[in-house]
Amino acid sequence: MKSGKLNIIGAACLSLGLALGGGGEALAARKIQIGHAYAAQHPMHVAMEAFAAQVKKETKGELEFEIIPSGVLGGEVELIQQTVGGMLDASLIGAITMFQGFAPKAAIEDLPFIFTDRLVAQKAIDALFGAYISGKVIEPLGLKVATYLEHGFRQITNSRRAIAAPGDLSGLKLRVPPLAMRVEAFKLLGANPVPMSLPELFTALQQGTVDGQENPMATIESNKFYEVQKFISLTNHTYTSAPLVFNADTWKSFDPATQKIILDAAKMAKDMSRELYVKYEKDALARIKASGVTVTTDVDYKAFAEKVKPVWESFRKKHGSEMFDLISQAEKK
């Protein structure tokens, strides 16, 4: 009788163990979505897919990241709101400056020509400037910054004329992200800036709601903006880095070993995005030129920089010189 009871208990325990993933089988994988606003062929998406694959491999399938591109989960402001609020566990945001509506100091990345060299910008992001942005600007919002992917310099496209000097922007309806600093800068340059989220942009260009837009080369090409634009000007007016951010509570839910796996994979994705972007940028420009778009390279950078000086002065007055000093340190290395 006693033996029969033990057999019943043993069977019950075995059934419970199987239900919980026992019997030598792993528990069900934890699956987390990461949203971003960029096309599936964009270098950042390619790097993020590699990130997800490395994490899955290193956690032996216990943690899976699903990368959701093309603004399916919302535009970048919505992605930030959802990640801060915990509705979304993580997101890749296409620029530090996208956080300026939540943390005004993030607008430093929006200052035109604050970075004129890609390597200097990368050095700054990898050193004290990047640490400052993470620790003092983004993470106090309730987020964890895992890394910054490459998003490159922004260029101007439009359907009306070549842009070589500030006067060429006069009266152009130019789509910009919904960011106060970007709007102000392009007003100073004579354009009529129209704030709009990225997922709406192709249709707006196609229908003539706006004349043009400004984005990094990979975004211009992967979203096929050149199909509805006649001119592209290599203004290199703003350099952007893309923060990969986690909701703080989500991040704390990972044990230290898993956090290290994620951070190692994030560094790999950062390095990959930088390598991919340089090649993609070159190839994308060739494809755009071959499509019949007029490419302007003889841009009067000094004239553009002179026009936007008031934006620099206003930012420095509000937020001080500390971040400028950190960038200067990177320039000297």
Tens digit of pLDDT for each residue in 226-254? 999 999 999 999 999 999 999 999 999 99
Residues 322 and 193: their CA atoms lie apart, in Å, by 29
Is residue 321 scored above 50 in pLDDT?
A: yes
Average pLDDT over residues 27-51: 94
Closest C-alpha among 248, 243, 245 to residue 142: 248
Dihedrals phi, psi of 209, to nearest 5 degrees: -60, -35
Is residue 21 scored above 80 in pLDDT?
A: no
Average pLDDT score, the chain: 92
Is residue 14 scored above 60 in pLDDT?
A: no
pLDDT band at 27 (very low <50, low <70, confident <90, very high): low
Dihedrals phi, psi of 308, to nearest 5 degrees: -100, 10
pLDDT band at 116 (very low <50, low <70, confident <90, very high): confident
Which string of DSSP letters, residue by residue, matches 61-128?
TSEEEEEE-TTTT--HHHHHHHHHHTSSSEEE-S-GGGGTTT-GGGGGGGSTTS---HHHHHHHHHSH
Task: Determine the pLDDT at residue 255.
Answer: 98
Q: Which residues contact residue 48 at a Cβ distance below 8 angstroms, ignoring those fewer than 6 apart?
A: 34, 36, 65, 67, 92, 149, 244, 269
Is residue 98 scored above 90 in pLDDT?
A: yes
Token pair for 324: 């400028």
Task: Determine the pLDDT at residue 3.
Answer: 43
pLDDT band at 135 (very low <50, low <70, confident <90, very high): very high
Residues 107 and 240: their CA atoms lie apart, in Å, by 11
Task: Determine the pLDDT at residue 124.
Answer: 97
- The β-bridge relationship of strands 30-35 and 173-176 is unpaired
- Does the predicted TM-score (pTM) go above 0.85? yes
Tens digit of pLDDT for each residue in 40-81? 999 999 999 999 999 999 999 999 999 999 999 999 999 999
- With pLDDT > 90 as the criterion, what percentage of the chain qualifies? 88
Tens digit of pLDDT for each residue in 162-182? 999 999 999 999 999 998 889
Task: Determine the pLDDT at residue 28.
Answer: 81
Residues 49 and 211: their CA atoms lie apart, in Å, by 34
